[in-house]
Amino acid sequence: MDPRQHEYRVLHEADLRDYLAGLPEITARLGGAPAFWSIGEVGDGNLNLVFIVKGTAGGVAVKQALPYVRLVGEGWPLPLSRSHYEYLALTHQARLAPGLVPDVLHHNEALALVVMELLAPHIIMRKRLVAGTIYPRFVEDITTFLARTLFLSSDLAVSAAEKKEGIAAFAGNHALCKITEDLIFTDPYRVAEQNRWTQPWLDATAAAFRENLDLHVAISRLKLKFLNAAEALIHGDLHTGSIMVTESETKVIDPEFAFYGPMGFDIGAVIANLLMAYLASAGHERSPGERRAFEAWVLETVEGVWTEFARKFLELWRTQAGGDAYPRTLFEGEVGAARLETERQAYMARLFEDTVGFAAAKIIRRILGLAHNIDFELIEDPKRRAISEARSLRLARTMMVDVASFSTIGTVTKAAREVRDWQPDFA
């Protein structure tokens, strides 16, 4: 047990007011007398308390971890230390990708508390995707975040010693990793009490996923990679609910699942959630075709996420390769440089394959596992919802078991476009 765990207490509104009043930097930012600050609990995630605090001058967001999974209750304990890892990740990401994560203003490890700048008027991206909103900046920002946080924490950029220190610093976050290992890489493929899906329409598909051994082999290989491949500091939960946007800004939040894992898991998460937004879109139509422009943008965005990520990652590799991997001295001269460039392309092809596989895993867990998402959940007619979900599962299954057939991001969006017009048996 953390020696300071006895200092932990859940902060209710009055406690929080007193606590923040004792922090000069925070009181200055908020402005006005503490008694007049407005404090509201707004956490809609699965794990934590989140307070918005506003004063006369400004606001802050306060996130406190609970010693259990909020979505499930005290029966599912979860270590408070995740707040420490979130703090570590946020501050490291801020160095690697400036401006793309919220500023941390204060951290109290014993209280499992992080105080951050209030992101306003930012909105959770997933909500706006459900509404059909286009964000032209998104590709630019998210690919900068992905390329910089992944490349700059990898063996391509840092020494092996620095990377091993990073691995050790995050190794204690295994309880959060375990959630991923179970809920993404295991449960959707077996009978598990917490699984749920849109019944009765997806009953047969859910059963098929529990029986399909090609899928079980593929998900097990991905799980092994998640367990073994300490490639870079990954966010670990990079869905569109972990991204806040305005017309002009993108902020990545909630990195409490961060650890040194496979890069493709983060890239795949972004692509998966965009593909779900695309295939859920038909369910949100009030008149046929009204969201076609939005849907076209989503698929362009899927393509842009990979191509711009790859371009930026390669550019960093060409210009900031200070790590121990692929030492420049083995690729000298023009011929050497050309060969290294060929190898970089091969590296990206392997990373793309990982990305497609992890993206498939992230789609499947949102439809057959415990944690669903509002892209589908807000489709009121359950049969229409099931149609969108069945299309997504069909795409994800192919991506997972036939990953080799997806050689470019264009083949992924082509498959998405085709499955958009596919009618499941029950339709």
- Separation of first and last alpha carbons in the chain: 53
| One-character DSSP codes across 322-364 | -SSSS-GGGS-HHHHHHHHHHHHHHHHHHHHHHHHHHHHHHHH
Nearer to a copy of itself, 342 or 405 (CB): 342
Angle (CA) 174-177-182 rounded to 5° is 120
Amino acid at 102: P
Pairing of strands 68-69, 59-65: unpaired
Cβ-based nearer residue to a copy of itself, 53 or 368? 368
Cβ 214 to a copy of itself, closest distance in Å? 9
Of 37 and 209, which CB lies nearer to a copy of itself in the complex structure? 209
DSSP 103: P
- In angstroms, the CA 48 to CA 144 distance is 28
CB of 345 to a copy of itself, least distance (A): 12
Q: Which H or E run includes 270? A: helix 263-281
In the complex, least distance from residue 356 CB atom to a copy of itself, rounded to whole angstroms? 19
Which lies closer to a copy of itself via its Cβ, residue 174 or residue 318?
A: 174
Q: How far is the CB of 326 from a copy of itself (least distance, A)?
A: 5
User: CB of residue 219 vs a copy of itself: minimum separation in angstroms?
Assistant: 7
Nearer to a copy of itself, 46 or 212 (CB): 212
* 26/177 with CB nearer a copy of itself: 177
Tokens, residue 363: 């789609």
- Rounded to 5°, the CA angle 91-262-324 comes to 80
User: Closest Cα to residue 113, out of 56, 57, 44, 67?
Assistant: 67
Query: Which is closer to a copy of itself, CB of 127 or CB of 210?
Result: 210
Minimum distance, C-beta of residue 386 to a copy of itself, in the bound complex (Å):
25
Residue type for position 19: Y
Which residues here bind a copy of itself, judged by CB under 8 A? Answer: 155, 160-161, 163-165, 167-168, 171-172, 174-175, 177-178, 181, 186, 189-190, 213, 216-217, 219-220, 223-224, 227-231, 324-327, 329-331, 335-336, 339, 343
Nearer to a copy of itself, 75 or 327 (CB): 327
Question: CB under 8 Å to 228, separation ≥6 — which residues?
Answer: none
**Count of C-beta atoms within a 10 Å radius of residue 96:** 19
